[in-house]
Chain A
Amino acid sequence: MASPKVAVVGAGVIGLSTALCITETCPSCSVTVLSDQFSPNTTSDVAAGMLIPHIYPDTPIHRQKQWFQETFTYLFAISNSAKASEAGIHLVSGWQIFKSTPKEELPFWSDIVLGFRPMSEAELQKFPQHRFGQAFTTLKCDCPPYLLWLEKRLKATGTQMYTRKVADLWELHSEYDIVVNCTGMGAHQLVGDKQLFPVRGQVLKVHAPWVTQFIRDGDGLTYIYPGIHRVTLGGTREKGSWNLSPDADTTRDIFDRCCSLEPSLQGAQDIEVKVGLRPSRQCVRVQREVLSKGGVKLPVVHNYGHGAGGFSVHRGTAKEAAHLVEECISALQSLSSRAKL
C-alpha cells in the first residue's frame, strides 16, 4: 500500500492531535480530517485545557500515567520554546484544595507535574473552609490557540481538512483505507456506543488579568483557571444532560462559588458563558476494530471517551491510536500481499 488514505473524524483536541501523530509515525499516509465542527466550536474550545488528570475507573492506572506523562513531556517542551505563545501553552501554578483530607494524598500524577507538595498552613489560611491542599505547577493549553496551532501544523504536512458531517462510518469506505474515530460525544450516535454518556459542563470565561494562580476544589466542581486572555470559572458535572444552552441560575452559582474562593473575581469583566458535553466513559476507548458489511472490511481505530481528561492525556492516546493505525496498515499490507499470491 503506497500511500494509505486515512480519514480522521473529529477536529477537537483528540482528532487533531491524533491526525498529527499519524503524520509523524506514518509519513507516507495521506491524512484527511473530517468534522462537522472546527475550532472555536468544538467541545475542546469550551474546556480550560488544564493538565490535571481525570481518573478513568476502568483504565489501568499505569496506562493513564503513561498517557499523562507523554502529554506533559510533549507540552512542556513546547512551553519552553519560542512557539509557546502561538501554541497557547503556558505554565500555571496554584492549588488544589479539599474540605476534608482526601484518602489519596498523593495522586498518581504528583511526580509528573512540577514542584508538587502539600500546602503550608499559611497558604491554607486563604481558604478557611478547606483544611488540606496541594500546591503545584502544571501546564495549560489555551483554546482556540492550541487547536489552531495543531491545524497549522497539519496543513504544513499536507493534511486536508473538510467540514463534513459523517452520519455513518461506512460512508467513508470507498474513499479511505482506514477511519479513525475521534468524534467524542458524537460516537454515541455514530457507532452506537451506549457506554458513552455526556457530563454537561457550564463555564464562565471572564476578563480578570490579575488572577495568576489556579484554584481547584478537589471535588472537581469549582475551579478558577487563568488562561492567556481569559480566566475560566467552573463549573458543573451534570451526568446524562445533553443540554447545550447556558443556564442563568448556574451562571450565578458558578460565579458565587468562585468568588468565595477568590473574592477579587467580583471585579471580573466581560463574562462569557459556555457549555460543553464531556464525552465520558468508564475507560477511554483506544481500540482497533474491523467493521464488516457484505464482504467489505473497514479498519477503524477508535480514540474517544476522554470525559473530563481530554487535554491531560491527549498526546498519549493520540500516539497509541497512531500505533493502532500502523497495525491496521500492516494488516492491510499483509492482506494485499497474500491476495497477490
Chain B
Amino acid sequence: MRVAIIGAGVIGLSSALCIQEQFQSLLPSLELEVYADHFTPHTTSDGAAGLWQPYASDRGNLQETLWNKETFDYLLGQLHSPAAKEMGLFLISGYNLFTEPAPDPSWKNIVLGFRNLTPKELELFPGYSHGWFNTALMLEGRSYLPWLTNRLTQRGVKFFHKKVESFQELFSQGVDVVLNCSGMRSGDLQPDPELQPGRGQIIRVLAPWVKHFIITHDLKSGVYNSPYVIPGSEFTVLGGIYQHGNWSEENSAKDHKSIWESCCQLLPALRKAKIVGEWSGLRPARPSVRLERESIRLGNVQAEVIHNYGHGGFGITIHWGCAMAAARLFGTILQEKKQLATPPGPRL
C-alpha cells in the first residue's frame, strides 16, 4: 500500500507522521513517500513565527476550533518531554490589543490563563483601549520541520525532491492513496477558486529583551494587517501584512517601512534592534480548511485523494487536529479496501 504525501510543510509532514504512527504496525505493507518541491527551511511553515493562535474571530467554524484545541492540548502534553527543545516547542505569554471592545475568542478556554488586560497594562500600549493576556505556545517551524523529518526518516518514510504536476502522475506510478498537503500551490493540482494567497511579509530582528508576543488588531483593516511582534528562540519576528490575492513573494520596501514604523511605535525599544532578515510568504487562505476525501476514477481503478490544505495563517495552530482527521480518513479508506478488519483505535 503506497501512500504519497504531496507537500513537506507542517501539514504534509505531520499528516505523514500521524498515518505512520497509527497504521505502520497494523499494515506492514504500508509505504509512505513525501513529494515536495520545497523542504525545510524553504517552506511557508519555516517563515511563520510559530505562535499558536487562531484568528480572533473564528469564522463560525466549530470544526476548526476543535482541531485548534486538539493541537494545543497535544503540544501542551509534549511540553515536558525531552523532545520539546528539539521540536522548537515552548510556552510564551503575551498581549492581544484592540482599539475597541472585542468579543472573547473561541480559543479563550484553550490557552492558559486568558484574561482581560488591566488599565495599568494598557498604559504600555497607548492607542489601544482593550486587550487580552494569555499564555500560549510557540512551535518554531525551523525546528519542528526538521524534527518531523528526522522522525519520518527513522521510520522508513522516503522523501522525493520533485514538483508533482498532477495526481494522475502518482497514481500511474502505482501510488494507492495521495494526501494533498500542497498548501498554496494546491490550485496547480486541482483548480480551487476559494484558495487565495494571503501575502505576508516579516522582518526578523535581534531583540532578546522582548519576552512577550504582542498582536494588535484593527477590526477595520482585517486580520494580520495590524502590527505584531513575536519573539522566538533566535530572533524576534515583526509583521503586520496580509494582502489577499497578492502572489508576490518578493519583499516590498513599502511593506518593510509599514511594518518597521508600526512595530517601533508599538514598542519604542525596537528602534535599537538589529535587523537580521526579511521574508515574504503566501498564507494559503480559504474560507474554511479543505479536509476531505475525493475518489477519482482512473480507468477501472478508484484512486483516493485526501485533501488537507487551505490553513491560511493558522497552519501551525491547527496542524495536529487536521493530521489526526486526515489519518481517520485514511483509516476509512483502508477499511473500504478491506485492508483492515476493524478500524484502529486512537494511538496511545
Contact = CB atoms under 8 A, between A and B. Distances in A.
Interface stretch (A50-58, A81-89, A168-176, A240-248): A81-89
Interface in B49-84: 79-82, 84
Interface stretch (A148-156, A185-193, A208-216, A290-298): A208-216
Given A115-B133, A123-B112, A228 B90 contact: no
A120 B112 contact: yes
B269 A264 contact: no
Contact of B121 (A114, A142, A213, A229): A114
Contact of B269 (A83, A114, A120, A211): A83
B210 interface: yes
Contact of A115 (B118, B208, B268): B118
B329 to A, nearest CB: 31
Given A81-B269, A123-B113, A91 B211 contact: yes
Q: Which residue, A85, A86, A211, has most C-beta atoms of chain B within 10 A? A: A85
Given A93-B211, A228-B208, A212 B113 contact: no
Interface of A is mostly: mixed
Interface of A: 79-86, 88-94, 114-115, 117, 119-120, 122-123, 126, 135, 137, 142, 209-213, 226, 228-229, 263-264, 266-267
Contacts, number: 97
A264 B82 CA distance: 7
A212 B271 contact: no
A85 B135 CA distance: 23
A211 B233 CA distance: 8
Contact of A213 (B80, B86, B91, B234): B91
A95 B269 CA distance: 25
A84 B209 contact: yes
B118 to A, nearest CB: 6
A207 B133 CA distance: 27
Interface of B is mostly: mixed
Interface size class on chain B is 35 or more
23 contacts: A80-B124, A80-B268, A84-B209, A85-B272, A93-B93, A93-B135, A93-B212, A114-B118, A115-B115, A115-B133, A117-B113, A122-B112, A123-B112, A123-B113, A137-B121, A137-B133, A209-B234, A210-B138, A211-B90, A212-B90, A212-B91, A212-B211, A229-B208
Interface string B190-213: 000000000000000001111110
Given A90-B209, A93-B135, A210-B85, A85 B112 contact: no
Contacts of B121: 114-115, 137
